[in-house]
C-alpha cells in the first residue's frame, strides 16, 4: 500500500487535517504536537479525535506522524532545558494515547559542547524515563543532517541510542531524505547501498517512516534546507527510487517540502503516478 502525505497545520484539529489530507490526495499526514518553536499546548479535544478516527477508518488512512517541537532537546546540558524536554515528551505521549494511529517523531537533540557520547547517553536516559508500560505509542528518532552539534546524523549514533533503550520494541527511526543526504549518505547514486547500511547498523525493521524532501544543498553539506521535489540536489529520479524500493512498500512517506497545499497536491499526484495502482 502506498502511504503518502505531508506536513499539515494542526490549528483546526485532527478532523480538519484528515479532510485536508484527503482533498490533496493523501492518506496519511504529519503535524506538530504543539508550537514547534515554543511549548504551549492546546486542550485535548476528545470529540475531534473521535471524529478524526471515524473519518480515517472510513477513508482508509494509514499511520500518522506526530512531530515533537524543535525546542525539545533530550540531551541538553542545562537542567531546566532537559526537564522541559522530559515534560513535553511525557505530556505529548500521554495525549497521543488517545490516538493509537499516531507515531511520535522527535529530533534526538543537540549535545552542544558535551560531546556526542554524552548526548547519546542522555537521549537514551530520557527515553528510558518517559517510556513506561502505559505508553503504547511508537517513538521515532529522526535522522539528522548534522548541523551544529546535532546527534543522529550517523546510523551508528542512532543505533547507539536504540541499544541503550530498554523498551526497544517501542522505538523506531524516521529517515529524512534531505537530512541523510546533507548528512553525507549518497541516496542519489546509491540508495540501495544506503538502505543496506541502515539495515546492517540499525535494522530495516526499525524504519517506520520516511520524510520525503529534496535538498537545497550538496551531499554532506550538513545544512538541512528542504527543497521541493525535483528542485534540489536530490532530484526526481532519486526520489522515485526512494519511494519504489520493494522493502519500503508499507512505510509512510511524509512530505516536508516548502509548499502550500496546492504544491503538496501536485507532488502527491506525481508520486502516485510513480507508485501507480497502489
Ligand atoms: Fe523533523
Ligand atoms: Fe524531517
Ligand atoms: Zn529538516
> Do 174 and 139 form a contact (C-beta atoms < 8 A)?
no
Average pLDDT, the chain: 97
Q: For 228-256, give one letter per residue: b (16+ CB within 10 A) or e.
A: bbbebbbeeebbbebbeeeebeebbbbbb
Rounded Cα distance between 124 and 130, Å, is 10
DSSP characters over the chain: ---EEEE---TT-HHHHHHHHHHTT-SEEEEESS-TTS---PPP-HHHHHHHHHHHHHTT---EEEEPPTT--TT-SSHHHHHHHHHHHHHHHHHHTT-TTEEEEE--EE-TTS-HHHHHHHHHHHHHHH--TT----EEEEP----TTEE-SSHHHHHHHHHH-S-GGGEEEEEEHHHHHHTT--HHHHHHHHHHHHHHHT-GGGEEEEEE-EESS-TT-----EE-TTSSSSHHHHHHHHHH-GGGTTS-EEE--S--HHHHHHHHHHHHHHTTT-
pTM of the model: 0.98
Predicted confidence at residue 263, as pLDDT, reads 98
Counting ligands in written order, the one closest to the CA of 226 is: 3
- Measured in angstroms, how far is the CA atom of residue 127 from the centroid of ligand 3? 22
- Measured in angstroms, how far is the CA atom of residue 99 from the centroid of ligand 3? 25
CB under 8 A, 24+ apart: contacts of 259-265 = 259/6, 259/228, 261/20, 261/23, 261/24, 263/228, 264/6, 264/24, 264/26, 265/23, 265/24, 265/25
> What number is the average pLDDT over the span 110-137?
97
Counting ligands in written order, the one closest to the CA of 253 is: 2
Counting ligands in written order, the one closest to the CA of 106 is: 1
- Measured in angstroms, how far is the CA atom of residue 107 from the centroid of ligand 1? 6
> Do 214 and 233 form a contact (C-beta atoms < 8 A)?
yes
Rounded Cα distance between 170 and 4, Å, is 23
- Measured in angstroms, how far is the CA atom of residue 267 from the centroid of ligand 1? 19
Counting ligands in written order, the one closest to the CA of 256 is: 2
- Measured in angstroms, how far is the CA atom of residue 48 from the centroid of ligand 3? 29
Q: Known catalytic residues?
A: 37, 67, 70, 107, 142, 176, 179, 211, 224, 226, 256
Rounded Cα distance between 234 and 177, Å, is 9
Neighbours of ion ligand 2 (CB under 5 A): 176, 211
Cell numbers 532530484 correspond to: 235
Counting ligands in written order, the one closest to the CA of 68 is: 1
- Answer yes or no: is pLDDT of 143 > 80: yes
- Measured in angstroms, how far is the CA atom of residue 27 from the centroid of ligand 2? 18
Predicted confidence at residue 39, as pLDDT, reads 78
pLDDT tens digits, one per residue of 198-240: 999 999 999 999 999 999 999 999 999 999 999 999 999 999 9
- Measured in angstroms, how far is the CA atom of residue 8 from the centroid of ligand 1? 13
Of the listed ranges 36-40, 115-119, 178-182, 189-193, the least confidently predicted one is 36-40
- Measured in angstroms, how far is the CA atom of residue 179 from the centroid of ligand 3? 6
Predicted confidence at residue 69, as pLDDT, reads 96
Of the listed ranges 36-40, 70-74, 99-103, the least confidently predicted one is 36-40
Cell numbers 500500500 correspond to: 1
DSSP characters over 88-99: HHHHHHHHHTT-
Amino acid at each position: 500500500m502506498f502511504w503518502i502525505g505531508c506536513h499539515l497545520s494542526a490549528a483546526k484539529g485532527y478532523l480538519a487535517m484528515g479532510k485536508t489530507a484527503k482533498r490533496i490526495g493523501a492518506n496519511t499526514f504529519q503535524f506538530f504536537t504543539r508550537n514547534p518553536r515554543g511549548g504551549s499546548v492546546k486542550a485535548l479535544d476528545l470529540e475531534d479525535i473521535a471524529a478524526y478516527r471515524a473519518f480515517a477508518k472510513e477513508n482508509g488512512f494509514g499511520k500518522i506522524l506526530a512531530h515533537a517541537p524543535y525546542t525539545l532537546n533530550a540531551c541538553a546540558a542545562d537542567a531546566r532545558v532537559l526537564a522541559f524536554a522530559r515534560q513535553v515528551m511525557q505530556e505529548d505521549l500521554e495525549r497521543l494515547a488517545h490516538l493509537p494511529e499516531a507515531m511520535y517523531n522527535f529530533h534526538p537533540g543537540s549535545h552542544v559542547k558535551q560531546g556526542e557520547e554524552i548526548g547519546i547517553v542522555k537521549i537514551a536516559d530520557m527515553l528510558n524515563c518517559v517510556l513506561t508500560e502505559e505508553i503504547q505509542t511508537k517513538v521515532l528518532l529522526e535522522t539528522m543532517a548534522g548541523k551544529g552539534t546535532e546527534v543522529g546524523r550517523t546510523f551508528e549514533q542512532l543505533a547507539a541510542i536504540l541499544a541503550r533503550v530498554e523498551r526497544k520494541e517501542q522505538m523506531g527511526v524516521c529517515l529524512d531524505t534531505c537530512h541523510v543526504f546533507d548528512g553525507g549518505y549518497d541516496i542519489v547514486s546509491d540508495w540501495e547501498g544506503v538502505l543496506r547500511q541502515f539495515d546492517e547498523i540499525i535494522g530495516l525493521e526499525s524504519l517506520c517512516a520516511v520524510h520525503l524532501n529534496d535538498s537545497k544543498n550538496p551531499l554532506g553539506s550538513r545544512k538541512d534546507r528542504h527543497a521541493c521535489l525535483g528542485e534540489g540536489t536530490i532530484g526526481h529520479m532519486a526520489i522515485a527510487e526512494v519511494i519504489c524500493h520493494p522493502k519500503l512498500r508499507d512505510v509512510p512517506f511524509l512530505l516536508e517540502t516548502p509548499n502550500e497545499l496546492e504544491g503538496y497536491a501536485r507532488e502527491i499526484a506525481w508520486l502516485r503516478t510513480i507508485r501507480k495502482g497502489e
